Amino acid sequence: MNAKPPAPEDDDLDFTRPAKVQPPAPTAQQLETAQKEAASGGAELRKAGYYVAIAKRAAAKIPPRNGERHCLLVVEDDPDLSNLLAEVFSVAGFEVRRAANRAQINAEINKPILPDLILLDIVLPDADGLQILSRLRAHPRFVRMPVIMMTGKAEASDVKAGLAAGADGYVSKPFKMSALVAAVNLVLGRA
């Protein structure tokens, strides 16, 4: 059903090596749209501490790639938060895979069945989540992969950068688990 992933030496998504080609910079229209979305989320952030309104609703329900249940790739380096997210999303009916660094991200995105959505932290020990997102968006296999940024970086400029890089949602820490689950459901068209 799914083609075997390319050999690591042929795959420009090997995050352990520098990018061969830099992804294109966001267009003026993308930056303007991201600025508006970031500004509209500012009031919600000040009020409740998270950007649930930034999650973009899928046009239609996205079916699970494995044919059974949606799979999330949680990219988070804090082991306690990663474990909590895995537990919460498992109870919510998701299959959960995890990664905390470049090597683990490489291993997960090169598995034969891709995740249905990536929850991506920006600040990782050996990687920058925004650079990872930009490289995903520049790759044909991942250009439409839903990605929600999940991070402690909560300034409007941070949100703008995430949305301009192609994020489908932006949830700042600390967040309510119910809000994050709702954002994932919205982006996957399950809401």
* pLDDT at position 117: 97
Number of domains in the chain: 1
Residue 122 maps to a domain: yes
Residue 177 maps to a domain: yes
pLDDT, tens digit, 9 for 90 and up, residues 108-165: 998 989 999 999 999 999 989 999 999 999 899 899 999 999 888 777 788 888 888 8
Q: Which residues lie closer than 8 Å to 58 by C-beta, 6 or more apart?
A: 146, 186, 187, 188, 189
pLDDT, tens digit, 9 for 90 and up, residues 149-173: 988 877 778 888 888 889 999 888 8
Q: Which domain holds residue 90?
A: 49-58+66-187
Question: For residue 28, what pLDDT band results from cuts at 50, 70 and 90?
Answer: confident
Residue 147 maps to a domain: yes
Cα distances from 169 to residues 16, 36, 51, 102, in angstroms, run 26, 14, 8, 22
Q: Is 107 helix (H, G, I), strand (E, B) or coil?
A: helix
The CATH number covering residue 92 comes to 3.40.50.2300
Residue 9 maps to a domain: no
Amino acid, res. 124: L
* pLDDT at position 14: 67
Report d(CA 90, CA 95) in Å as an integer.
6
Residue 16 maps to a domain: no
Residue 116 maps to a domain: yes
